[in-house]
A = this chain, B = another copy of it.
Amino acid sequence: MPRRRDGEATRDKILTAAAEVFACRGYRGGTVAEIAAASGINGALISYYYGGKAELYRSAWDFAYQRAAGKYPVDGGLDDAAPAVKRLHGIIASAIARRSDPENRENEIMLNELSSPTGILDDVHARSFADLRRVLRKAVGDILGSGIAEEEQRLAVLSIFSMCIIPVKQIQKLEGNPAYVYQPEERIRHVYNFAMAGLLDILTGGVK
């Protein structure tokens, strides 16, 4: 047992600041000096506690990911026994809520990794996206059934997936109108209806 344990508080401060800085500036853009300033600690402590910037990045992502995954389960909290349409709703609701949470830095870090991968998270960062696609694939498959071509099912999953992961906040920042903000609940309802209409259209052979 360690004689002192005030280092734990320091580790947490670093982790929180690092997640925020890396989310905003990316891995290469976020400096250890900036993280040190944001957390009010000496930069040397980053090497002391985390060995280096790369390992801190990895820890910060894991920190953000664990928190988000616990708060917003990718399956929406419904198991495989639930009806497929209920599952689909749960998945969409959880995904959108997860990406609407202003305290969740996981989204922004993932977006950075997507646009310019660092290689540091190569073994893990696909998880967040892959998990969502997997459960979506299952729910959509159960709704459409085996009568619909694999290709069409893939496309449907991709479309619903894209509505779930779009970074609304960042896109809205580009627009001139910051007054308007999307209400997550409204958007969940809309995306679910939109998706169900699309799936139903596929099932009934499309608009002729």
Residues of A within 8 A of B (CB): 24-26, 28-29, 108, 111-112, 114-116, 125-126, 129-130, 133, 151-152, 154-156, 158-159, 161-163, 165-168, 170-171, 174-175, 180, 182, 186-187, 190-191, 193-198, 200-202, 206-207
Contacts and interface: CB of A to CB of B under 8 A. Distances in A.
A97 B103 CA distance: 35
A113 B168 CA distance: 14
Contact of A162 (B111, B163, B170): B163
A112 B113 CA distance: 10
Contacts of A161: 166
Contacts of A130: 174-175
Contact of A151 (B126, B186, B202): B186
Nearest to A196: B207
A162 B166 contact: yes
B158 A168 contact: yes
B198 A156 contact: no
Closest 10 CB pairs of A and B: A197-B201, A162-B166, A194-B198, A126-B174, A111-B115, A26-B116, A155-B190, A28-B29, A197-B197, A112-B115
